[in-house]
Chain A
Amino acid sequence: MSTNEMWRQRRRVVQALGAAGALGAVGGPKLAWGQTGKIKVGFMLPYTGTYAALGRAIENGFKLYVSEQGGKLGGRELEYFTVDDESEPAKGADNVNKLIKRDNVDVIVGTVHSGVQMAIVKAARESNTLLIIPNAGVDEATGPLCAPNVFRVSFSNSQPGLAMGIVAAARGYKTAVTITWKYAAGEQSVHGFKETFEKGGGKVLKELFVPFPNVEFQALLTEIASIKPTCAYAFFAGGGAVKFVKDYAAAGLKEKVPLLGAGFLTDGTLDAQGAAADGLLTTLHYADNLTTPRNNSFRLGYAKAYSTKADVYAVQGYDSAQLLGLGLRAVGGDIAQRQLLYRAMASAEIDSPRGKITLSPSHNVVQDFYLRKVENGENKSIGLAAKALADPGRGCTM
C-alpha cells in the first residue's frame, strides 16, 4: 500500500468517526453523502511571493459571490481547503496532489502562474477533477491540453494581443515591431497581436525578444528607433513592465512610435511608471472606470467585505464561483452527475462585473476586450477593442 493510500484510509476512518460522533450527539437522521454534504473546494493559489496579492484577491472574489448566495452554491454548503503554490512550478505536481489525494476536493480553483498551471491541468486531467482556472493565461490549458473538466474564466495569453492587433490595424498603423520576454506567455501574446494585425493589413517587421527575466532593454530600444515602425506592441508585467515603459519614454520613442500593449503592461504598475505611462493604450477584459450597475454593485460589495478596492483578479475569482454555482444549480447540487455538470458549465452565460461572458468550445472565456488609455494614474476604458473575442483554441480536440 502506498503512503498516499494509507493516508486516505486513515483520513476516511477519522472522518467517519467524526461524522458518527456528530450525528450521535444531535441524534439527527442519516444523511446521504454526495448530495447533502459540503462541496469541497480546493484553492491552489499563491499566498506568498510576488503574486501573493493576486491569490488573495481571487479567493476574496470567490468567497464574496458565495456569501452573496447565502453561503451556498446549488443548495450545497462549501468547505474550503487551501494550498500555497508559491508560484513555484517545480512544486506544482506535489502541491496539487495535496488537494486531490489528501483532501479529496471536488473542485480545484487555481492558479496565477502559467508554469504551475500546467502541472495543475495535467493532474486534473489524470484524476478527472473539476478545475476552474481563475487567472493563468497559458494557451495550452484550453488548447492542446483542453478537457471536459477544465474551464477558464480569465483569459488566454493570445486574447489581449488578438484584440490589440484589431485596434492597431483599425487605427491605420502599417508596420509594427513587437517586443517581449522570451517565454511562453510573451510569445503567445505577440503571436495573437501579429495574427489580427496582419489580417487587418499591417505588417510586423521584427519580433524582438529579451531573455526572461532580463530587464536591460536599451539595445532593443535602439533597434526599434532604427527600424522606425509606425507602432510597437509590448508584453511585459510587473517590474519589467515598469522599467520598459520608463525606458521607452526616456529614449524619446513614446512620441514617435506609439506604444501598444497587453493590459498587464500598465496594471498594478502605474504608480511606479508615473508620467512615462501617460496616454499608453492597452487592451484587457476589465478597466478601472466601468460604470455598469453590475460592476458598481460588485465593487461596492467587495470594498465593504474586504475594505480594499476590487481589481481584475477579484473579478476572475468572483466569476469562478459564478461558473461553479451555475453548474451546481443545473444538477441540483449533485456534483456526482459529471456529464450534466460539465455541459451546464460549458453553456453557462455569466453575468460578470466585466460584462456578459460565455465559454468557447475549448472552455476558454469568450468576452469583450476594452481599449484602455492611461489617464491620471488610471486605466480608463475608451471603448471596445473587440466584442465577444474568442481564443481560437488551436490543438483542442474535445
Chain B
Amino acid sequence: MRNELAMDLATFLVQCLNALQYGLLLFLVASGLTLIFGIMGVINLAHGSFYMIGAYLAFVLAPVFGGNFIATLLAGLVLAVIFGYVLEWLFVSYLYERDHLQQVLMTYGLILVFEELRSILVDNDVHGVPVPAWLNGSVQLGDLMQYPVYRLAISAVCLAVAAALYFVIARTRLGMMIRAGASNREMIQSLGIDIKFLYRVVFAAGVTLAVLAGMIAAPVSSVYPGMGAQVLIVCFVVVVIGGIGSVRGAFLASLLVGIVDTFGKVLFPQAAGVAIYLLMAAILLWKPEGLFRQS
C-alpha cells in the first residue's frame, strides 16, 4: 500500500514545476487586478471576464491570421488596450468617487453583459485552441511523465512580463506616478499630474494583462462559458494575500497559492478546495494587510 504522504524526489520536483507554472499564470491575471484595485481603488469583479475575453479572442482571431500565433497574440493585445481604454472612459471613470457597493454592482453588471455577448457572438459550446506547431513538443520528465513545451513557454512569458512590470514600476517615470498614485491620490493631482489619464492607462494595462493571460492560456485551458469566474476568485485570494496594490506582493502570493494548491491537491485530496483559503486566513491573521501593503 502506498503511503499517502510519501513522494519520491523526481515526483516532488515535477510537482514544484507544476506549482511554479500555475502560480506564474495566476500572477499574470492577478497583477492587473491588484493594479486596478490598489491604484484606482476600484473593486473590479469583471476582471475574470477580461481573462475570458482573452481566451475567446485567441479562439476567434486564430483563423483570421491563418493560425499564426504571434500575429494573433499581437492583434489581441492591440484590441485589449483599446478595449480597456474605452471601457474606463465609458464606465469605470464614473466609479472613483462612489462607494464599493456601487462599484461591485457596476462591474458585476459588466460580467453579465460580457457573458451574454459571448453567448450571442460565439456560442455556448466548448472550443479548443490549437497549440502553435513550433511549441507542440514535449520534454520527457522521469519514466512516465512528459511536460509539454507550450506550458514551459507560458511560464517564460509570465516571467518576462513580471520582469517588465518590475522595471516599469520601479525604474520609469510612469511607474513613479503609479506608485505615487497608489499612496496619495490628491497629492499627485495637486502636483499637476493628469490623474485621469494615468487611471486610463493603468486600467488599460490591467485589462491587457488579463487578456494576455487568457490568450496564452487558451490552448491548454480550452475556451468555455463562465471560465472567468473561477479565475477571478483565486485572483482575489492572491491580491488579498499579496497586499492590495502591490505587484511584488501579487507575485509572491501567486507562487504561494500555486504551491499550496498543487501540494494540497496531491497530499490532501479530500480537502483540496479549502487549502488556499486556509493559507489566506493564516496570512491575514499574521499580517492583516497582506504581505506587502502599499500605503
Nearest Cβ in chain B — how far from A173, in angstroms? 16
Q: A253–B145 Cα gap in the complex (Å)?
A: 7
> Is A215's CB within 8 Å of the partner chain B?
yes
- What is the 8 Å Cβ interface bit string for chain A, positions 184-215, against chain B (1 contact, 0 not)? 00000000000000000000011111111111
List CB contacts (< 8 Å) of B8-27 with chain A: 8, 10-11, 14-15, 18-19, 21-22
List CB contacts (< 8 Å) of A218-274 with chain B: 218-223, 225-228, 238-239, 241-243, 246-247, 250-253, 256-257, 268-269, 271-274
- Check B125 against A272 for contact (C-beta < 8 Å): yes
Nearest Cβ in chain B — how far from A210, in angstroms? 7
- Check B224 against A273 for contact (C-beta < 8 Å): no
The answer to whether A243 and B261 touch (CB under 8 A), given A220-B266, A250-B138, A250-B146, is: no
- From A216, A218, A225, A274, contact of B142 by CB (8 A): A225
List CB contacts (< 8 Å) of A167-191 with chain B: 182
Q: Which residues of B contact A212 (CB under 8 A)?
A: 273
> Is B230's CB within 8 Å of the partner chain A?
yes
- Check B18 against A218 for contact (C-beta < 8 Å): yes
The answer to whether A226 and B8 touch (CB under 8 A), given A242-B128, A250-B146, A251-B146, is: yes
> Is B191's CB within 8 Å of the partner chain A?
no
- What is the 8 Å Cβ interface bit string for chain B, positions 201-242, against chain A (1 contact, 0 not)? 000000000000000000011111111001000000000000
- From B21, B223, B272, contact of A218 by CB (8 A): B21
Nearest Cβ in chain B — how far from A237, in angstroms? 10
Closest to B270 in A: A209
Q: Which residues of B contact A246 (CB under 8 A)?
A: 128, 220, 222
- Check B266 against A219 for contact (C-beta < 8 Å): yes
- Check B224 against A218 for contact (C-beta < 8 Å): no
Q: A383–B163 Cα gap in the complex (Å)?
A: 56
Q: Which residues of B contact A274 (CB under 8 A)?
A: 128, 130
List CB contacts (< 8 Å) of B70-101 with chain A: none
- What is the 8 Å Cβ interface bit string for chain B, positions 133-144, against chain A (1 contact, 0 not)? 000001010101
Q: Which residues of A contact B144 (CB under 8 A)?
A: 225-226, 228, 252-253, 256-257
> Is A19's CB within 8 Å of the partner chain B?
no
Closest to B139 in A: A252
Closest to A51 in B: B124
- Check A252 against B128 for contact (C-beta < 8 Å): no
Q: A49–B116 Cα gap in the complex (Å)?
A: 9
Q: Which residues of A contact B269 (CB under 8 A)?
A: 206-209
- From B127, B146, B223, B225, contact of A252 by CB (8 A): B146
Highest count of chain B CB atoms <10 Å: which of A239, A247, A269: A239
> Is A50's CB within 8 Å of the partner chain B?
yes
Q: A385–B173 Cα gap in the complex (Å)?
A: 68
- Check B124 against A53 for contact (C-beta < 8 Å): yes
The answer to whether A216 and B145 touch (CB under 8 A), given A239-B224, A268-B125, is: no
- Check B145 against A222 for contact (C-beta < 8 Å): yes
- Check A219 against B19 for contact (C-beta < 8 Å): yes
> Is B108's CB within 8 Å of the partner chain A?
no
- Check A219 against B18 for contact (C-beta < 8 Å): yes
For the complex, count residues of B whose C-beta is within 8 A of A.
45
List CB contacts (< 8 Å) of B250-295 with chain A: 261-263, 265-266, 269-270, 272-273
- Check B273 against A239 for contact (C-beta < 8 Å): no
- From B2, B128, B145, B223, contact of A205 by CB (8 A): B2
Size category, A interface: 35 or more
- What is the 8 Å Cβ interface bit string for chain A, positions 313-340, against chain B (1 contact, 0 not)? 0000000000000000000000000000
- Check B128 against A272 for contact (C-beta < 8 Å): yes
Q: Which residues of A contact B18 (CB under 8 A)?
A: 218-219, 222
> Is B148's CB within 8 Å of the partner chain A?
yes
- Check B126 against A238 for contact (C-beta < 8 Å): yes
- Check A219 against B222 for contact (C-beta < 8 Å): no
> Is A52's CB within 8 Å of the partner chain B?
yes
Nearest Cβ in chain A — how far from B13, in angstroms? 10
- Check A272 against B145 for contact (C-beta < 8 Å): no
- Check A252 against B138 for contact (C-beta < 8 Å): yes
- From B126, B130, B138, B262, contact of A219 by CB (8 A): B262
**Besides the known contacts A210-B272, A239-B227, A250-B150, 5 further A-B residue pairs in the complex with CB atoms under 8 A apart:** A209-B272, A218-B22, A219-B261, A250-B148, A253-B144
B binding-site residues for A, Cβ under 8 Å: 2, 7-8, 10-11, 14-15, 18-19, 21-22, 124-128, 130, 138, 140, 142, 144-148, 150-151, 220-227, 230, 261-263, 265-266, 269-270, 272-273
A binding-site residues for B, Cβ under 8 Å: 49-50, 52-53, 182, 205-216, 218-223, 225-228, 238-239, 241-243, 246-247, 250-253, 256-257, 268-269, 271-274
Which 5 interchain pairs have the tightest Cβ spacing? A239-B224, A252-B146, A211-B273, A272-B128, A225-B144
21 interchain pairs, CB-CB under 8 A: A49-B124, A49-B225, A182-B270, A205-B2, A209-B269, A209-B272, A211-B272, A211-B273, A213-B226, A215-B230, A218-B21, A219-B262, A219-B266, A220-B266, A223-B11, A225-B14, A242-B126, A242-B224, A250-B151, A271-B125, A271-B127
